[in-house]
Amino acid sequence: MRKWTMLAVSLGLAAILDQIAKSWVLSNLDLYQSIQPIPALAPFFQLTRSSNTGAAFGILPMAGDVFLILALFIVAALLWYLRSLPAESRLAPFAVGLVIGGAVGNIIDRLQHGHVIDFIHYQIPNLISNVSNPADHAIVFGVMLIFAESLWRDRNRREAESRPRTMDAARESEEAR
C-alpha cells in the first residue's frame, strides 16, 4: 500500500506543478516571448514560451498523436513494473510517479492544446539551446532515479551473494547432503 501512496503523491505533485507553471506561462507570455527571471543567468537561462508537437528537442514534429499513444503505453508499462517491485522498495515508487506525472502533464497539453507547452530555456550560446517544461524534467529525473535504484539493488544483491556463508548455513548445507 505504501508504494502506491508514494506513487500517487509524486505523480500528483509532478502533474499539478507542471500544469500550474504552464498556466502561468500561457497567461503571462506570448508565443516565443522570452523573459529573464534571473538577469545574471541570461542568456544561459530564461523563460521562452514555445510549443512542441513532436518529441523531446522538437524531433518528429508531425508525430504528436503517436507520442500521445506511446505515452499511454509507457504509463501502463510503468504501472506493471511498479507492481512487480518488492514492497520495501522506497525510491522506485516515487521515481515512477515522477515519470508518470510528467507524462500526464504532457498528455494533458496534447489533448488540451494539440501540442506541449515548453518554456524552460537553457542555452550555451553557439553550442546548444533547449526549451523544455517541468513535466520533461520530472520524466528525466524519475528515469535517473529508477536506474540508480536498479543499480543499487543489483549491487546489494551481488554483495549478498558473494558474502561468506555463516557457520549455521554451512552446517545446514552439510546436514542436507
In order, the DSSP letters of 3-46 are HHHHHHHHHHHHHHHHHHHHHHHHHH--TT-EE-SSGGGTTTEE
- Give the whole-angstrom CA distance, residue 68 versus residue 116: 10
What gap in Å lies between CA 135 and CA 142, rounded to an integer? 10
Distance CA 75, CA 67 (A): 12
Query: Of 123, 130, 118, 132, nearest to 43 (Cα)?
Result: 123
Q: Give the chain's length.
A: 177
Active site residue 136: yes
Annotated catalytic residue: which of 18, 30, 109, 118?
Answer: 118
Q: Which residue of the set 65, 109, 136, 154 is catalytic?
A: 136
- Grid cell for residue 99: 515519470
CA dihedral sign, ordered 71, 110, 25, 46: positive
Q: How far is CA 74 from CA 35, 152, 161, in A?
A: 34, 23, 33
Which residues does the annotation mark as catalytic? Answer: 118, 136
